[in-house]
Amino acid sequence: MSKAYDVVVIGAGPAGYVGAIRAAQLGMSVACVDNWVNHDGRRALGGTCLNAGCIPSKALLESSELYHRARHELATHGIQVGEVSMDVAQMQKRKSQITRTLTGGIEMLFKGNKIEWLQGRGTVLGSGKVQVTPLDEGEAYTVDADNIIIASGSEPVNLDIAPFDGDRVVDSWGALEFDKVPKRLGVIGAGIIGVELGSVWSRLGAETVLLEAQDDFLALADQQIAKEAWKQFKKQGLDVRLGARVLGAKAQKRSVKVEYSQGEDKHSETFDRLIVCVGRRPNTEDLFSSDSGLELDDKGFVNVDERFRTNLPRVYAVGDVIGGPMLAHKGSEEGSAVAELIAGESAEVNYLTVPSVIYTAPEIAWVGKTEEQLKAEGADYRTGTFPFSANGRAKALEQAAGMVKMLADARTDRILGVHMVGPYVSELIAEMVLAMEFGASSEDVARTIHAHPTLSETVHEAALSVDGRAIHGVNRRR
């Protein structure tokens, strides 16, 4: 007889493990099926985010930024440190320790909430049935579930013209595992992942070239912010080539040759390593049996309604596998919401207030609509901007590049979007997410006292600027 649970979750990434914990908190018996195995053979919870994405990349970004600042900025503060070198092995060891601590923390949370971790691949056989194929040589078995939550996540897109070989041509996970700094690094894709990974190795000394097929840099971001970010990246030495369509990549013994076109011209470059990060696709391989009837959309994502229900009764799906912004925090909110819906509670996710962050230096963050989107909609809006160069705290930090931009409805003054590039904007954006969640106006933020001297004053001044009354900057004539 198979074991039965109130909820079985497939996948232990941010969407899956949060959904499992929330369901357990609500009094349900829960099992979580997950097949993640690290390069060293260690099994771990947390999915891509904690093991091969969000967390390890931020650890390397922090290490590389400190190295860059020590070499190029500390003398400005009067700090003389002599010759600075980077111990890549120690940097990687620190990164691994951080990920192990956090994934171990999830394991403890599972134990504390009496969630059973089933190590293996989960396959939906239909409503109420999940097959678990163990990671070892054990036989597959079936568990019963009153409810099933699919949270199998996503995986990197593998280009046929530049296939991964695990050595010279790698995906985003492989780019986090380099044991030495490449002399010359190529990156296909200058999106969020591309610019973050490119920044890490560029700061450490790699001559870095990013090949982006689109003609606009960071097309999803507000273009005024994107152009300011590009300007700063160029100063740092990142070589971003737009409209660069890769024709092929051939790995050799000690290098990779990449051919690409820009307009009518064809080019060739040779790199020591090549990172391919052109997007992610839903992880649906062996996710469901052929006779289960689970429906996917035309892009391969699991079809769900507004309550995360698939076409199968009491089978739900959340996170990257259902599309939308492939962000850990978006998936976590969906995981929590679906657990509450299963328990009969009211829950929803406000997709208009999902923030996006790029952890470069300067950082980039935004929430809500861009100016390009508002123009396309024919919306009547007002704009306020304020530069970090006029902010005392940013000056003291020696990080005064960038700006804050606020967009508000011209009639109601309700905030429609906020976009930032500058120091620690990954933290500043939270205030704007909260403001938009409560339907705040730019005047609400303008009338909120912000401590001085802080970086948050740029948000305050941008709100004042919407109405043409910024104090520490020249207001545009209206």
**Domain ranges across the chain:** 4-155+281-349, 169-278, 353-466
CA torsion through residues 107, 19, 358, 423, sign: negative
Per-residue pLDDT averaged across 354-382, rounded? 98
- The whole-number average pLDDT for the span 317-333 is 97
> Where does residue 65 fall: left (phi above 0), alpha (psi -120 to 50 degrees), or beta otherwise?
alpha
Residue 264 region, left (φ>0) first, then alpha (ψ -120 to 50), else beta?
Answer: alpha
Let me know: does 88 contact 179? Beta carbons within 8 Å. yes
Q: Do domains 4-155+281-349 and 353-466 have the same CATH topology?
A: no
- Nearest Cα to Cα of residue 194 among 147, 255, 240: 240
Neighbours of 357 (CB within 10 A): 18
Tell me the average pLDDT across 75-93: 95
- Answer yes or no: is pLDDT of 478 > 70: no
Place of tokens 């599972």: 110
CA 339 to CA 198: how far, in whole Å? 38
pLDDT in tens, 335-351: 999 999 999 999 999 99
| Mean pLDDT of the region 44-72 | 97
Mean pLDDT in residue range 130-140: 92
For the segment 120-139, the average pLDDT, to the nearest whole number, is 94
Residue 2 has pLDDT above 50, yes or no: yes
Per-residue pLDDT band for 138 (boundaries 50, 70, 90) equals confident
Q: Is 70 exceeded by the pLDDT of residue 312?
A: yes
Q: How far apart are CA 168 and CA 351, in angstroms?
A: 38
Question: Cα(402)–Cα(424) distance, rounded to whole angstroms?
Answer: 11
Q: Which one-letter amino acid corresponds to residue 427? A: E
5 pLDDT above the threshold of 80: yes
0.85 surpassed by pTM: yes
Contacts of 92 (CB under 8 A, 6+ apart): 177, 179
Per-residue tokens: 265: 């011209």
Helices 14-25 and 328-342 cross at an angle (nearest 10°) of 30
pLDDT for 1 beyond 60: no
Q: What does CATH list as the number for 169-278?
A: 3.50.50.60
Using the CB atoms, write b or e for 442-454: b if 16+ within 10 Å: beebbeeebeeee
CATH topology for 353-466? Enolase-like; domain 1 (3.30.390)
Q: Report the chain's terminal Cα–Cα distance, integer Å.
A: 74
Strands (E), 401-468: 403-409, 415-422
Whether the predicted pLDDT of 218 surpasses 90: yes
3-state secondary structure (DSSP) of residue 294: coil
Mean per-residue pLDDT of the chain: 96
What band does 86 get if pLDDT is binned at 50, 70 and 90? Answer: very high
In CATH, which superfamily holds the domain spanning 4-155+281-349? FAD/NAD(P)-binding domain (3.50.50.60)
Is the pLDDT at 401 greater than 50? The verdict is yes
Catalytic residue among 450, 452, 460, 472: 452
Whole-angstrom Cα distance, residue 374 to residue 387?
Answer: 22
Is 329 considered catalytic here?
Answer: no
CA distance 317 to 324: 13
Provide the residue type at 130 as one letter.
V
> What residues are paired with 212 via a beta bridge?
242
Judge whether 269 and 183 are in contact, CB under 8 Å.
no
pLDDT at 434 over 70: yes
